[in-house]
Structure 1
Amino acid sequence: MKSRVLNEVLRKRRLDVDFTQQDLSSMSGVNISIIKALETGRSDTTYENISKLCEALKIPISEVYLEDFRETKVITVANNKGGSGKTSVVASLGYCLSEINENRVLLIDGDMQMNLSYSYNVERNDRLNLYEAIIQESPLTEYIVNTEFQNIDIIISDFNMATIEMILFTKTLRETIFKRILQPVIDMGTYDYIIIDTNPTLGILNFNILNASDYIIVPVEMSAFGILGLEILTKFIRQAQDINQNLAIAGVLRTKVDKRELITTEAENVLIDVFGNKIFDTYIPIDTNVKKSQWEQIPLNVFSENSRANKQYQNLAKEVSRIVK
């Protein structure tokens, strides 16, 4: 892992104590050119120099220096079709990614049904939930809840999210609210991955979420109804990319696959027509262990480590990590 100096924190503290850059250089013994480069983010410096600057500014070094800084990738799992397996993908992919190189993962439940929250056995909380964070426009750092599983945290949803579209519509700069409240989490450098579960709509909330994301994964159920309306979804993604030019499709994930059925092959041909080469090599087969694990409120990966679906999710995690690195 690499370290990072929080240059904005350093600069703000210097201004708060009414030091010029020359004052800070004289007080700390650190060359002024190093201070200028740090504050503008052009370069880093040694731990010794950071320690001297913090001593001169009378602040703990932990406030400006992150020794274990992780480059956070934000991945949204979205489809406007119900039953595509979004929640299962977020829950299982998040767990499998956490097992690779001890990655730290934050899951965000953006669906009013709270299925992701219950999948990790996290109970409803009237105060610590995504709904409260959005209406208060508060940093999501204040709403993170630990799960019982190593390296996995979560921000839970709430049933009140059913009204969030109406609330967002009344707010100014409504398309950027989620990005603004998520940014402090990214700036912490605590997580390798933030993975977001979404509701099955193409509304303001999901536009907000895509505006804050680096990648989108599109799960598609391999059925006649599952592949209907994909053109609308791709249009929505392109509209989000007009605002967030960093947003890329990581891949389309085939879910609930039964290779014995002819419809699977026909559906795959439709996916190729719509998404081209953006289809993951990995697919998720039909597996009753998925529903059983949800009933027990345990991640599939823990409930049935040797299940067909879990082995495929492990392959998916490797594929995703290669694509988004």
Structure 2
Amino acid sequence: MVVWTIANQKGGVGKTTTTVTLGALLAQRGHRVLLIDTDPHGSLTYYFGIDAEELEVSVYDIFLRGKDITGEEILQSMCPSGMPNLDILPTSMALATLDRSHGQQGGMGLILKKALQKIENDYDYVLIDCPPVIGVLMVNAMAACDRILIPVQTEFLALKGLDRMIATMQLMHSSSPQDYAFTIIPTMYDKRTKASLDAYKALKAQYQDRVWSAVIPIDTKFRDASLAQTPPPVFAPKSRGVFAYNTLLTYLLQLAPEN
């Protein structure tokens, strides 16, 4: 099982779109894929037409029960996505209370990692969609993964948000033996604007080989797919955005998880 965490402390940079699109492309390639929504706002959950507040079980129950939850119970928490090979572990608004109610509890940072170990033979890839804030949820998602994918909108305010994200990773590394492998993904690139070009150049200059060499362009098909509650590779398989994510996926699959 390979685990990718999609994270950035800035919202609106394409985290959920990246999670859904890469997950669907992996599923189309025949891999068994699980998408986990750790954002209390539930964008990933609602993307697939799942009403988080109508569910009896969600990812919140994994944090609530910790080491006591079984692999079978975790699997029973999954929701179908509507396409083969792709399952969803939905969120709950109750996750928003987790830092306050359980944040100081010992071992809270490794609950998700230990839970995934119980189902490691059931999925080939797990993609975790994170909230745009540092806290116990992002800490869990980062501790559980082999690689962090950081979508960054190609505009200068988003670059400042990336600086904070990298600083957070360095801070977490200083208190943990884990070294975080990460890939920066330029998103929402508009080749018609000088601002996008300049931001991309600045991104490459500062982070060099940590930045994927291509870009995810602005594509209205992403918005249309979201409205249709259908993954972009199913909704618009020939769109330029899906083509870009396919190229990204090929690149990521060539990287060893530990690199």
Could you say which structure has the higher strand fraction? 1
- Equivalent-residue separation in structure 2 for 1:154 and 1:241 (angstroms): 29
Map of 1:44 onto structure 2? none
Aligned-residue offset at 1:176:
1.7
SS at 1:75 equivalent: strand
1:184-195 aligned within 5 A: 184-186=118-120, 189-195=121-127
Q: Would the alpha carbon gap of residues 83 and 142 (structure 1) be closer, same or farther in structure 2, given more than 3 Å must change?
A: same
RMSD: 1.7
- Equivalent-residue separation in structure 1 for 2:55 and 2:79 (angstroms): 13
Corresponding position: 1:176 with 2:76: no
Match of 2:80 among 146, 162, 165: 146
Map of 1:165 onto structure 2? 99
Map of 1:222 onto structure 2? 154
Map of 1:126 onto structure 2? 55
Aligned-residue offset at 1:301:
1.2
SS at 1:231 equivalent: helix
Aligned-residue offset at 1:244:
5.0
Q: How many residues align?
A: 250
**Residue identity matched to 1:164:** L
| Aligned 8 A contact 2:152 2:184 in 1 | yes
Match of 2:131 among 175, 186, 199: 199
| Aligned 8 A contact 1:210 1:240 in 2 | no
Q: Would the alpha carbon gap of residues 123 and 181 (structure 1) be closer, same or farther in structure 2, given more than 3 Å must change?
A: same
Aligned-residue offset at 1:220:
0.2
Between Structure 1 and Structure 2, whose CA radius of gyration is higher?
1
| Aligned 8 A contact 1:212 1:244 in 2 | no
- Equivalent-residue separation in structure 2 for 1:180 and 1:314 (angstroms): 30
**Which structure has more RCO (C-alpha within 8 Å, separation ≥ 6)?**
2
Corresponding position: 1:295 with 2:227: yes
SS at 1:74 equivalent: strand
Corresponding position: 1:80 with 2:13: no
Aligned-residue offset at 1:204:
2.0
Calculate percent identity across the aligned residue pairs.
28
Corresponding position: 1:318 with 2:250: yes
**Residue identity matched to 2:61:** E
**Residue identity matched to 2:252:** V
- Equivalent-residue separation in structure 2 for 1:275 and 1:95 (angstroms): 28
| Aligned 8 A contact 2:4 2:145 in 1 | yes
1:86-101 aligned within 5 A: 86-100=15-29
Map of 1:212 onto structure 2? 144
Q: Would the alpha carbon gap of residues 321 and 155 (structure 1) be closer, same or farther in structure 2, given more than 3 Å must change?
A: same
Which runs of 5 or more residues in structure 2 are unaligned? Answer: none
- Equivalent-residue separation in structure 1 for 2:173 and 2:34 (angstroms): 23
Which runs of 5 or more residues in structure 1 are unaligned? Answer: 1-71
Corresponding position: 1:283 with 2:215: yes
Map of 2:36 onto structure 1? 108
- Under a length normalisation based on structure 1, what TM-score does the superposition of the two structures give? 0.72
| Aligned 8 A contact 2:62 2:111 in 1 | no
Q: Would the alpha carbon gap of residues 275 and 168 (structure 1) be closer, same or farther in structure 2, given more than 3 Å must change?
A: farther
1:216-295 aligned within 5 A: 216-242=148-174, 243=176, 245=178, 247-249=180-182, 251-295=183-227
Aligned-residue offset at 1:172:
2.0
Alignment deviations for residues 257-311 of structure 1 (CA, whole Å, 9 cap, x no partner): 0011111222123322442211113311111111111111111111111111111
- Equivalent-residue separation in structure 2 for 1:166 and 1:257 (angstroms): 37
1:50-89 aligned within 5 A: 72-89=1-18
| Aligned 8 A contact 1:211 1:240 in 2 | no
SS at 2:242 equivalent: helix
**Residue identity matched to 1:122:** I
- Equivalent-residue separation in structure 2 for 1:241 and 1:215 (angstroms): 14
Alignment deviations for residues 208-258 of structure 1 (CA, whole Å, 9 cap, x no partner): 211111100000001122111322211212233442525311x11111100
Alignment deviations for residues 41-99 of structure 1 (CA, whole Å, 9 cap, x no partner): xxxxxxxxxxxxxxxxxxxxxxxxxxxxxxx1110000000111100000001111122
